[in-house]
Amino acid sequence: MFRVVIDIETIGRDFEAYDQKSQAYLLKYAENDEEKEIVRKNLALHALTGEIVTIGMLNPDTGKGVVLFQNKNSSVENFEENGLSYEAGSEKEILEKFWNIVKTYEQIITFNGRGFDIPYLMMRSAINKVRTSRNFMGYRYNPKEHCDLMEQLTFYGATRKFNLDFYAKSFGIKSSKDEGVDGSMIGELYEKKRYLDVARYCARDLQTTKELYEYWDKYLRF
């Protein structure tokens, strides 16, 4: 099967860029300063208050793929590393490239893709006026088109959800978080203009997801 592992990295919009009415709406249920700070930190989790800065794609059978990332107009030339092509562009440009590439694959593999990555990709595409080429939010209980490992490893919500790092370590797989970077640090790295660090972190997530898929396929698939 012609398949591809997908992962994205996101950052939140500057809270102060919102008008007062929008700020009040976002903070509507925050009852103290601590809860208000949590709202600000979680803007990256939602497509209407965040943006995609990296989209990674890895063919698990060939080890080849592409990491599309925003470079915020800095000078970063395209290059290849460990079988992955790194290509920079605006959010709109990387979304256009993503939908053009992904339409050629029969199956996508994600970790929590139904709950996060794919809806986020679709909403940010709509905001950027980019037409999606595929619908990966179809029938939930058939992984042949979209194999979401979060769904598979929780047996469609029957058991507790754990994060990618915890599943990887539980199955003896090298975690993408072992090098000191995790998703909560993406916004800070972008503020420091460490765009390639984020892109390479996404690449490590792709590899961890690939190995987790192979483990599931060998021992848990039914």
pLDDT of residue 177: 79
Domain 3-11+55-219 homologous superfamily, CATH: Ribonuclease H-like superfamily/Ribonuclease H (3.30.420.10)
Phi, psi of 23 (to 5 degrees): -60, -45
pLDDT of residue 182: 80
pLDDT of residue 161: 97
d(CA 129, CA 198): 25
pLDDT of residue 73: 72
Taking the model in full, what pTM does it have?
0.95
CB atoms within 10 A of CB 128: 16
Mean pLDDT on 127-141: 96
pLDDT of residue 1: 65
Mean pLDDT on 133-141: 95
**134: pLDDT strictly greater than 70:** yes
**76: pLDDT strictly greater than 80:** no
Per the CB < 8 A criterion, the answer to whether 6 and 55 are in contact is: yes
Q: Where are the domains of the chain?
A: 3-11+55-219
pLDDT band at 132 (very low <50, low <70, confident <90, very high): very high
Ramachandran region, residue 13 (left: φ > 0; alpha: ψ -120 to 50; beta: rest): beta
pLDDT digits (tens, 9 = 90+) for 161-207: 999 999 999 999 998 877 777 878 899 999 999 999 999 999 999 99
d(CA 55, CA 59): 14
